[in-house]
């Protein structure tokens, strides 16, 4: 029996987003990709979803006021 982090009710949904969606976010917020908040490649959730260094992860959290809020993290090799 294997435990999956994403199966736990307290863990928000995480998914890797494509370069097109990343480009839209970069333009919308007028930032560079490196300005996203970071998450390490060896984080258990990153390992579970199979994200690679340089990819961006979208995190969907439930919100009492907005139903759902989205957060983004850039997968990095080490803390900068």
Phi, then psi, of 59 in degrees rounded to 5: -115, 125
Predicted local distance difference test score (pLDDT) of residue 67: 85
What is the CATH class of 12-76?
Answer: alpha beta
Domain coordinates in residue numbering, the chain? 12-76
> pLDDT tens digit string along 57-73?
999 988 888 788 999 99
What secondary structure letter does DSSP report for 43? S
Bigger pLDDT: 3 vs 46: 46
Residue 28, pLDDT > 70, answer yes
3-state SS, residue 53? coil
Element (H, E) at 41: none
Q: What is the DSSP string of 10-29?
A: TSPEEEEE-HHHHHHHHHHH
């Amino acid at each position: 029996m294997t435990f999956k982090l994403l199966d736990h009710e307290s863990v928000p949904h995480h998914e890797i987003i494509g370069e097109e969606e990343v480009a839209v976010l970069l333009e919308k917020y007028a930032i560079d990709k490196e300005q996203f908040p970071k998450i390490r490649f060896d984080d258990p959730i990153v390992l579970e979803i199979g994200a690679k260094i340089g990819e961006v992860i979208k995190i969907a959290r439930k919100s009492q006021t907005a139903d759902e809020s989205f957060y983004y993290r850039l997968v990095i090799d080490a803390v900068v």
